[in-house]
Structure 1
Amino acid sequence: MNKLCVCSSYRGGWQVERNICKSWDLKESAVVSLQRELKKLGCDNLEVKGPPVDLEVPYQTVLTPEAVSFVARLVEKFESEVEEILRQRIIYKLELDKTGGLPDFKVNHEIFHGNWKVGQLPQRLQCRHVDLGDVSPSNTSHFVAALKSSAQGIQVDFDDGHCPTWSNQLKGLYNVYLVVHDKMKGVPPIKDAPLLMLRPRAWNMVEHNMLVNGKEVHGPLFDFGLLMFHNAKVLLDIESGPFFYLSKLEGKLEARLWDRIFTWCEKELSLPYGCIKACVLIENVLASFEMEEILFELCHHTMGLNCGIWDYSASFINKFGHRPEFVLPDRNKYVSMERDFLKSYMNLVIKTCHKRSCHATGGMAALLLPPSENHPQYDPVMQKVISAKRNEIEAGVDGFMVYDIRLVKPAQQLFRKLAPNDNQWLVTKSDVIVRASDLLKMPSGSVTMAGLKHNITVGILFIQNWLRGQGHFYLNGAVEDSATAEISRSQVWQWIRHRARIEDSDEIVTMATMHNLVKEIVNEEEQRSHFIKSEDSQQLQTAAEMFEIIVTKRDFPEFITTYLNQDSTFLSYQEKMN
């Protein structure tokens, strides 16, 4: 029977405390009450969808009239600037396509040669050695486990590792609220827990469930606004925030926009100027040519830059994928942080950040340790992670992320052994010169059948998990999220477009090749999963069909998450879950 239950977090899950009334009664009353109170505040230009079943308490906690009004003001203040940023992205891409041009450094002598530094970092940001990545706060058990870890920080993720269903957004925001206000059972007090490094969605995502002036609001403004309104003052009082990761910026103008948003929020919430600190993820090739400018624009609000491998690699296909000279080979065999464009990119992140006295951090180790230390693959996996992260530390990074909580302490021990200080800012890399051509140099190599099949598998299973409301999943001993799905579907699209030759069979990658592999993968997955419900099998088939559409589009879909978030199939699945 459908009931409203007051629930609390218990051992990583939810426990029922008491039943109140039929859920649909309160669902309706929650919306009516919110709209009535918003009108009293003079906010008659916005609409918010009602709560999903059994999430009335999180809904009423997070979406208070004052909080929603704050988000609405934030949207009205900056919506036109966000729209202009998105237009400029399109215009610049069209210019590159039309002229065949490539990005280059545009040296501003005042910025490049000036002796400026970023603002002083709070004490708890001095050491950024190990963060846990892809921690969706909507997954209560995972979030709780991360909070109990010894990591320096937690990437509280509303982006790559998170699926933005209405239920997930409310659960995630509510769980953050509970943790910050020390109301979640079984976790340390917030002042003793790892730092919450809050990652709102990127500019490519919208929130379907809130409209201001008849338009869906931009996802980052919704996430950031609510996170700030409910949590910023508490975090500031205990010198633990508010701290953020910013995803998928493409240049200095986008950094300037975020700086204006930060400054406005600080003023509106009576917070001191510069208290918000953000780490910018350099996930786009265009942003790599404006790293110094990005830090300059955010100099009072930044803690540094982060470099990761797969979103950044996918951005090459996004921007230049139709050009044959930018065909990216099998990523598992030929693409790594030690080669060509990625090595130059990491060196430039380190050099730029340390020149300005802020942190340069590496990407996330996605490998998962086997469940037992006695497993024959336990030591090889551990050594593979340690070897890769040793290379990053020796290159000069100040920190990085891991997904598996069991890797936190070994990673911290590695830092204590190789770089025991809080940071490596003395590693200036003054002798390293990175040219535009270095950032654009594709690794040599070709396509493999194993690589093609792996990319197709990741793409299909990512879509299937999104249809289930899950933002990441495990495959072959590694975590897969939207970043790996992005590079996977991008490579398949590019290899079909350029009829790439498969090195181990001399076969051409065609739509037919892809289609046959899709059928093979679906059959294998059905046999492996032993689906009991016909809906599960249908869901997998639907995901496969959606994948085939995405990778054969004439025009490259800019982001797989944008495509899915606007797709009627995903939206109908989401509606059923609510």
Structure 2
Amino acid sequence: VHISVAPVGCEEAWRTLMTRDAVKFVAQLVIAFDEEVEELHRRRQLRKLHLDRTGDLPDFLDHAHPAKTSDWKVAPVPERLNCRHLDLGDVSPSNTQHFEAALRSSAQGIQTDFDDGHCPSWPNQLRGLHNVFRAVHHQIPGISPIQDLPILMLRPRAWNMTEFNMMVNGKAVPGPLFDFGMLMYHNAKKLLSHQSGPFFYLSKASHANTSLEGFLEARVWNSIFKWAQNKLGLPLGSVKACVLIENVLASFEMEEILYELKEHSVGLNCGIWDYSASFVNKFGHRSEFVLPDRSKYVSMEKHFLSSYMDLVVQTCHRRGAHATGGMAAALLPPAKGGQEARDNVLQKAALGKLREIKAGVDGFMVYDIGMLSTMQEMFKRFTHSPNQLHVTRDDARITAADLLVMPSGGVTLTGLRHNVSVGIMFIFSWFKGRGHYFLNGAVEDSATAEISRSQVWQWIRHCRPLEDDKRTVTSSFVQSLSENFVKQKSQELSAEDRKTLETSAAIFLQIVTKRNFPEFITTYLSEEILNIF
């Protein structure tokens, strides 16, 4: 086993976390599941090759899996998870100030995020894990004991990410196993003793959807949970997890996912941008799957997304699990800008989330702490209960075609410019060690970066014309927009940051002009570009 040394400024975190027993626990976890993780990646690749070669489309599984043939429900959740109305999203625990503000908030939960809203540099990983440790063990001045805080919904990295600073048997370890192992070893017993966890979000479910093994990833996680609980002497079912259905293939296997995790399931989560980006990931080279301008034509009201949400609610509630929606990313303007401006932003965000409440969700996320009270009041007003498990959505008759129909619409210059700026600024933020940033009154993270760079890649690939003036989206056109953005943005940056921005724009152009679509922007950045931390 090899562990990188402590980065400057993280010595205390390294000493607290990287104890001999903790490292041994993570190493044993990695060894126990190394082959299953390798097989998981092979099946993902084989499924993508099959789709590309045959032109097949996914469908619901028709085999005699117990999830289809028997009457079952997930295990009951602990009392503190009965009400999941509001989680704060994109809370990277490496951002100490933001994390502590979230801990002081009135949210029901905190998406304690090592994935979408987090940049996984070695200092950030150590600082984030240490801040979680300090919160759980009541070591942060001015912060209440863990049982009086919002629930920590711990979100390890997804399977596409690797932790290069720990090696076991000559190989860098999978990022989610490192995160999960450290979080469990240092915090699980304390959380369980205070009825506050350990609770997790699992990112980027991406299933094989073939034969009997399409739900393998849920099965792998279930085995990991059992192994960790047994190793730490915790009762079976202590771990509870919410799976983020962020991939179109996974939407056809939600019942099987719940079944595989039924002892450990909190439910399923649906969000708009990673899920939409997965269509480009899986079918982006097909002309019938060109996704129109997301700024103008893609919203949860569109048929393919409303069907997806309805199916999440129906599937979860039939099996006694919670169904949660995505994140309201809007930011409230500063108070000095006037109350009317703040009210307008809040009203627009509330209207979108009210549709989700009426669809039957049990909760969703917001980024801005200032939105919590309004959104919580909405739940009280329109649901009158801690959850909506009674909303069975028997009216929903969702077919495979419903999940696969693309919204109509084209490409706008405004939308293209926005996607270019989001993609460049995400890369720039990673260089600065940040996993999310603010742009035009909203928080942007890897989910919005994924959909942005995916759309630009797809519009170049299919030579889509602009609605505005019929100009074709080409690599040279995108390059000119990129140069214009860099020139404008550079006026507010230091000389050093201007160079970083130029480098970020160059990397963005590499990504969107590659012949073969890079599956995840974060994988590309961490493994091919930014493995420098």
TM-score above 0.5, yes or no: yes
Structure 1 counterpart SS, 2:146:
coil
The equivalent residue for 1:74 is 29
The superposition leaves residues 482-540 of structure 1 with CA deviations (integer Å, 9 ceiling, x where unpaired) of 0000000000000000001110111100011101100100011012x1x23x2111000
1:259 has 2:259 as partner: no
**In structure 1, how many angstroms separate the alpha carbons of the residues matched to 2:9 and 2:245?**
38
**In structure 1, how many angstroms separate the alpha carbons of the residues matched to 2:383 and 2:68?**
28
TM-score (norm 2): 0.97
The superposition leaves residues 331-377 of structure 1 with CA deviations (integer Å, 9 ceiling, x where unpaired) of 01000011111010000000000000110000000000011172542
Counting only pairs closer than 5 Å after superposition, residues 93-492 of structure 1 correspond to structure 2 as: 93-109=48-64, 110-251=66-207, 252-372=215-335, 374-492=338-456
Matched letter for residue 509 of structure 2: E
Structure 1 counterpart SS, 2:120:
coil
Matched letter for residue 77 of structure 1: A
Structure 1 counterpart SS, 2:236:
coil
Unaligned runs of 5+ in 1: 1-45
Q: CA deviation at 1:113?
A: 4.1
Q: CA deviation at 1:112?
A: 2.1
Q: How many residues align?
A: 524
**In structure 2, how many angstroms separate the alpha carbons of the residues matched to 1:276 and 1:409?**
29
**In structure 2, how many angstroms separate the alpha carbons of the residues matched to 1:399 and 1:108?**
32
The equivalent residue for 1:555 is 516
Match of 1:84 among 23, 30, 39: 39
Structure 1 counterpart SS, 2:141:
coil
Match of 1:519 among 483, 486, 493: 483
Matched letter for residue 43 of structure 2: Q
**In structure 2, how many angstroms separate the alpha carbons of the residues matched to 1:337 and 1:379?**
22
Matched letter for residue 327 of structure 1: V
**In structure 2, how many angstroms separate the alpha carbons of the residues matched to 1:364 and 1:186?**
28
**In structure 1, how many angstroms separate the alpha carbons of the residues matched to 2:367 and 2:384?**
22
Counting only pairs closer than 5 Å after superposition, residues 4-19 of structure 1 correspond to structure 2 as: none
Q: Which has the higher contact order (CA 8 A, sep 6+)?
A: 2
Structure 2 counterpart SS, 1:411:
helix
The equivalent residue for 2:4 is 49
Structure 2 counterpart SS, 1:293:
helix
The equivalent residue for 1:571 is 531
**In structure 2, how many angstroms separate the alpha carbons of the residues matched to 1:108 and 1:302?**
23
**In structure 2, how many angstroms separate the alpha carbons of the residues matched to 1:323 and 1:312?**
17
Matched letter for residue 322 of structure 2: H
The equivalent residue for 1:14 is none
**In structure 1, how many angstroms separate the alpha carbons of the residues matched to 2:384 and 2:168?**
50
Matched letter for residue 336 of structure 1: S
The equivalent residue for 2:504 is 543
**In structure 2, how many angstroms separate the alpha carbons of the residues matched to 1:262 and 1:298?**
9
**In structure 2, how many angstroms separate the alpha carbons of the residues matched to 1:490 and 1:517?**
16
Matched letter for residue 428 of structure 1: T
Structure with greater Cα Rg = 1
The equivalent residue for 1:58 is 13
**In structure 1, how many angstroms separate the alpha carbons of the residues matched to 2:388 and 2:147?**
26
The equivalent residue for 1:18 is none
**In structure 1, how many angstroms separate the alpha carbons of the residues matched to 2:446 and 2:392?**
33
Matched letter for residue 267 of structure 1: N
**In structure 2, how many angstroms separate the alpha carbons of the residues matched to 1:83 and 1:341?**
32
Matched letter for residue 61 of structure 2: K
Q: CA deviation at 1:551?
A: 0.3
The superposition leaves residues 51-95 of structure 1 with CA deviations (integer Å, 9 ceiling, x where unpaired) of 101211100101111000000000000011001000000000000
Runs of 4+ in 1 over 6 A off after TM superposition: none
The equivalent residue for 1:13 is none
Q: CA deviation at 1:108?
A: 4.0
Q: CA deviation at 1:567?
A: 2.2
Matched letter for residue 471 of structure 2: E
Structure 1 counterpart SS, 2:132:
helix
Q: CA deviation at 1:471?
A: 0.2
Deviates more, 1:368-377 or 1:262-271: 368-377
Structure 2 counterpart SS, 1:377:
helix
RMSD across aligned positions (CA): 0.8
**In structure 1, how many angstroms separate the alpha carbons of the residues matched to 2:190 and 2:79?**
17
Q: CA deviation at 1:571?
A: 2.6
Matched letter for residue 478 of structure 2: M
TM-score (norm 1): 0.90
**In structure 2, how many angstroms separate the alpha carbons of the residues matched to 1:420 and 1:71?**
43
Q: CA deviation at 1:107?
A: 2.8
Matched letter for residue 435 of structure 1: T
Unaligned runs of 5+ in 2: 208-214
**In structure 2, how many angstroms separate the alpha carbons of the residues matched to 1:138 and 1:80?**
31
User: What percent of counterpart residues are identical?
Assistant: 60
Structure 1 counterpart SS, 2:182:
helix
Matched letter for residue 238 of structure 2: C
